[in-house]
Structure 1
Amino acid sequence: MQRRTFLTGTLLGAAALASVPALSSGASAATVTVGSLTGLRSAIDAAKPGDRIVLADGTYTVPSNSPISVSGKAGTADAPITIVAQSRGGAVLQGAQSFVLSDSSNITISGFAFRQSTTLEIPASCTGIRLTRNDFRFADVSGLDWVVVRGDDTKIDRNRFHDKTTMGIFVIVDGPGSTAMAQNLHIFKNHYSDHSYAGDNGGEPIRLGVSGRALSSANAVVEYNLFERCDGDPETVSVKSSGNTIRYNTIRDSRGGIVLRHGNESTVEANYLLDGTDGVRLYGNDHTVVNNYFGRLSGRAMVIGSGTTRDHHSGETTEERRGNDACDRALIMHNTFVDSARPISGEERTYAPQDAVIADNLLVGSTGNLVAMGETSGFRWQGNILWGAASDGTIPSGGYRRVDPLLRQDSDGIFRLSAGSPAIDAATLGTMFPGDDIDGHPRGGTRDVGADEYSTQAPVRRPLTVSDVGPNAA
């Protein structure tokens, strides 16, 4: 396939139009290089599936009354229309707005440094939009949410979101209307850091839904993201919808944790929560929390929440929907808690959590109570191992044994099982889920207690570092 290349404008002021021969008949894609916003708009208007539009490096101020419009453009899944900076972070977009999308599909926007002062929206009329390898640092405006997603099949990957001191959320996922959720969002390999807003609410890195959308399934996957110094809210990943998966993320030195605040049937799997304040809080029904590692958290590592209501439903009032739905039928298994202040605890509201299974977890602590649950109903505790100077707390006597798990600390700071640990092959719950452990090692037929399955092999997955995420990640 032949390609054509255009250079429209320059950053040096000696503007000249240069071109190479046009596509032969039957060719289907072009690479167009432009050096001005005017050239960029023209190239977008003319783009066809598979075209690649390259904006030369430089700083561009987008006029408030003339954003970069992407309207009525349709790539395909195999041949998206790609709009890309010449080098990653080299094309800086400042001003009130940057890209404004509408009625478009399969558009990729890559490599830009976004410095705008209003929200970047992916509306419900757009599907298959991808934001990849960008640097987001919007104006530090109180109440400004940076990226809002309402369109299906959106991908947000390998970006950096950083440096905010005011109220506002890095990424919000909503949907069309007032109750639906955007479907099949995939957020992965992003780096979220340095949100220092000190208020009580409204500063999450990621929020999936809102109370009015709680009963709508989103089928979102949030994985392999690194969160550092995210102190803008007690909820680093705030889930307010149903049917989502939060896995393989690392939250480090942050105030917030993973909170299933509204909705049902979500999975929290194989996340590292390290050296921060809170861990995981659960409300709603039928969640699974498996293979997570809670290390040195100063607040509440795991909260099995009570409620002001029992089961959200379509006919409830707005105030009822905003309330906490007691956590029912949660499956909490194969998690490891090391040196956290409050490993497993509850709350005091009208409706107690009920019918949870807490099995094959490993709790090690030096102070306080390892378990501090209040009223519960129908809980099943089994196969857990407790150790350390911390008191057992309120865990029933038949739900655990107290024995030294023989943990060793590896070079990445994580405590794993050593040879001869009594946790090896000691799991009791009769289910084959999960198939592997937090490190990515297979569980096999006889499973170990805690997040780690003993192995002499190097971990496939470890706590994420800066080199694993962001614009330059693999």
Structure 2
Amino acid sequence: MQRRTFLRGSAVAALAAVPLGTSMSLEASAADKPVSTLAELQSAINAAAPGDRIILADGTYTVPAGGAINISGKNGTSAAPITIVSKSRGGAVLKGERGFVLANSTNITISGFAFRQSTTLEIPVTCSGIRLTRNDFQHADAGDKYWVVVRADDTKIDRNHFHNKTTTGIFLIVDGPGSTDMAQRTHIFRNYFSDHSFAGDNGGECIRIGVSGRALSAANAVVEYNLFERANGDPEAISVKSSGNTIRYNTIRDSRGGIVLRHGNGSRVEGNHVIGGLEGIRLYGNDHLIVNNYLAGLSKRALVVGSGSTRDHNTGETEEERRGNDAVDRAIIVHNTLYNNAGSLSGENRTYEPRNVVLADNLLVGNTGSLVEMGATTGFTWQTNLLWGSAANGNIPAGGFTRADPKLVLGADGVARLSAGSPAIGAATLTGTSVPDDLDGDPRGSKRDIGADQYSTAAALRHPLTSADVGPNAT
């Protein structure tokens, strides 16, 4: 019997059929300022007050070379932002060298545009509270490498579509002021990243949060509920090069890139689905929590606990040392499901081995190779992991696992979950780490199950995302 019903609300399903260019929510307001030329748009921005909504008529607008749409010294409020919006989603197409240029502005929302420009859209440090929502980004491949760069605090990037890049470069970068600090509290959610086809060895991430020189700075960014498909421009679809970030509830499907904590410390990777691509999650640095992730059908390594060319990054190291890999220390890897991957749980063999890592209550199922292939380690804790399949156990210590059939059942959404009578039910033992719910959003309760899934007969609250759940028309 199928354990769950895969539900998608009828409203969400209906949104999937709504194309760009459809006006769905622009009800008339006394604050509306309709404009139909670039000159009128600039005049309306110059005169804008909190709560104003400037609506640009549908059409194609080419910004002259050397020109821009300037938003300078304009301040909305959190309750009454200044909103600049296309009349219909994707209906106002911006071409030319440059589009919006922001400076010294707060609480500005830019919504519904189709960006076809050739230079980077930057949110500079002199701004805050900027929101990019429901836009369609497909910059000119011959233009700037980077499409959107965030340097300001409290930026929201939501419900956009970034797509179709064939050259080196990154869809979305979060940086910050100076050379070592990070923009604070960036929230990236419900976006659709697709079809980055750059074939080089690196340099084609979808999202990069920080860079090596900023690794020790906390960004407190949250990246959640985003969908990545055919993210093939780099082995890192989400590249984290700063500290203190949360990467949760995202879906990466059929992609070369995975989730990589490349630099930095103290990040949380939770409840992500990585399905049918090359690699899943790879981590370096200290004090990370990797919990409730579902990694399935990957043709290379599902989960890599990285070794280092250095033990710990520090403020006194050289630039070359900073670019190196920082060995993992004190990570907690708990309640993950690794299902039918070519390579399951893996290590590396650089000079500095990972130390004091806890691997507990994980479910590893596979039929090829070995389920655990760690390099040198020191002080690892292996506790109540459950292994199954015709793959060899590998070099997991004998006391750190049991081997038994977890009685998995594939749901309508393609996710393998526990069924009644599974030996994983109630068998988790790790204490001291708060894991209140599971991959699906079900409460863990006092008796936790091994793996990402807590057995339940209720419909899943979370599931692998589809294009109906993200992008300009998402709820």
1:120–1:147 contact (8 Å) kept in structure 2: yes
Deviations 1:54-104 (A, max 9, x none): 000000001122200000000000100000000000000000110000000
Counterpart of 1:237 in structure 2 is 238
Counterpart of 1:300 in structure 2 is 301
AA matched with 1:270:
G
Counterpart of 2:101 in structure 1 is 100
Counterpart of 1:6 in structure 2 is none
2:120–2:144 contact (8 Å) kept in structure 1: no
110-119 or 143-152, larger mean C-alpha shift: 143-152
Counterpart of 1:63 in structure 2 is 64
Counterpart of 2:139 in structure 1 is 138
Distance in 2, Cα, partners of 1:294 & 1:334: 12
Distance in 1, Cα, partners of 2:419 & 2:67: 62
Deviations 1:89-127 (A, max 9, x none): 000000011000000000000000000001000000010
Counterpart of 2:315 in structure 1 is 314
Distance in 2, Cα, partners of 1:236 & 1:434: 26
1:429 aligns with 2:430: yes
Distance in 1, Cα, partners of 2:399 & 2:204: 41
2:118–2:144 contact (8 Å) kept in structure 1: no
Counterpart of 1:370 in structure 2 is 371
AA matched with 1:164:
K
Name structure 1 gaps, 5 residues minimum: 1-19, 24-28
1:404-423 correspondence to structure 2 within 5 Å? 404-423=405-424
2:46 aligned counterpart, secondary structure: helix
Identity across matched positions, percent: 69
Distance in 1, Cα, partners of 2:245 & 2:142: 30
1:261-272 correspondence to structure 2 within 5 Å? 261-272=262-273
Deviations 1:387-434 (A, max 9, x none): 000000010000000000000011111100000000000001013521
202-211 or 136-145, larger mean C-alpha shift: 136-145
Distance in 2, Cα, partners of 1:37 & 1:167: 31
Distance in 2, Cα, partners of 1:173 & 1:64: 27
1:32–1:43 contact (8 Å) kept in structure 2: yes
Distance in 1, Cα, partners of 2:167 & 2:144: 7
1:343-362 correspondence to structure 2 within 5 Å? 343-362=344-363
Distance in 2, Cα, partners of 1:182 & 1:320: 23
1:116 aligned counterpart, secondary structure: coil
Give the C-alpha shift of residue 349 in structure 1: 0.5
Give the C-alpha shift of residue 144 in structure 1: 1.2
Distance in 1, Cα, partners of 2:143 & 2:322: 26
Counterpart of 1:176 in structure 2 is 177
Distance in 1, Cα, partners of 2:139 & 2:250: 24
Give the C-alpha shift of residue 30 in structure 1: 2.1
Deviations 1:128-152 (A, max 9, x none): 0000000000001276100000000
Counterpart of 2:117 in structure 1 is 116
1:250 aligns with 2:231: no
Q: Which runs of 4+ in 1 moved over 4 A?
A: none
* TM-score computed with the length of structure 2 as normaliser: 0.93
1:459 aligns with 2:463: no
AA matched with 1:470:
G
1:467 aligned counterpart, secondary structure: helix
Distance in 1, Cα, partners of 2:279 & 2:406: 24
Distance in 2, Cα, partners of 1:463 & 1:106: 32
AA matched with 1:374:
G
Root-mean-square deviation (Å): 1.1
1:212 aligns with 2:217: no
Counterpart of 1:397 in structure 2 is 398
1:334 aligns with 2:325: no
2:118–2:143 contact (8 Å) kept in structure 1: no
1:142–1:167 contact (8 Å) kept in structure 2: no
Counterpart of 1:12 in structure 2 is none
Give the C-alpha shift of residue 345 in structure 1: 0.4
AA matched with 1:226:
L
Deviations 1:278-327 (A, max 9, x none): 11111000000000000100011110000000110101100010000000
2:298–2:340 contact (8 Å) kept in structure 1: yes
* TM-score computed with the length of structure 1 as normaliser: 0.94
Give the C-alpha shift of residue 437 in structure 1: 0.2
Distance in 1, Cα, partners of 2:130 & 2:364: 42
Larger radius of gyration: 1
Distance in 2, Cα, partners of 1:141 & 1:66: 19
Distance in 2, Cα, partners of 1:217 & 1:64: 38
1:261 aligned counterpart, secondary structure: strand
Distance in 1, Cα, partners of 2:256 & 2:324: 22
1:156 aligned counterpart, secondary structure: strand
Name structure 2 gaps, 5 residues minimum: 1-27
1:61 aligned counterpart, secondary structure: strand
